[in-house]
Amino acid sequence: MNLFVTGTDTGCGKTFVTAALLRHLARRGTRALGMKPIASGAERTADGLVNEDVAALVAAANVAAPPAIVNPYLFEPPASPHIAAAASGAVVDLAVIAEAYAACRAAAEVVLVEGVGGWQVPLAEDVDLADLVRALGLPVLLVVGIRLGCINHALLSIAAIAEAGVVCHGWVANVLEPDLYAREAVVETLARRIPAPLLATIENGDTGSLDALAASLADTP
**Residues marked as catalytic:** 36
C-alpha atoms less than 13 angstroms from C-alpha of 117 in its C-beta half-sphere: 18
Helix ranges restricted to H, 6-107: 14-27, 52-60, 67-70, 81-87, 94-107
> For residue 144, what are the CA distances in angstroms to 14, 16, 152?
9, 12, 11
CB 214 within 8 A of CB 141: no
Nearest residue to 139 (alpha-carbon basis) of 171, 96, 100: 171
Nearest residue to 140 (alpha-carbon basis) of 98, 168, 114: 168
CB 102 within 8 A of CB 33: no
> For residue 74, what are the CA distances in angstroms to 66, 148, 168?
14, 31, 27
Give the three-class secondary structure for 203.
Answer: strand
CA distance 8 to 120: 9
Angle, in degrees to the nearest 10, between helices 94-107 and 129-136: 40
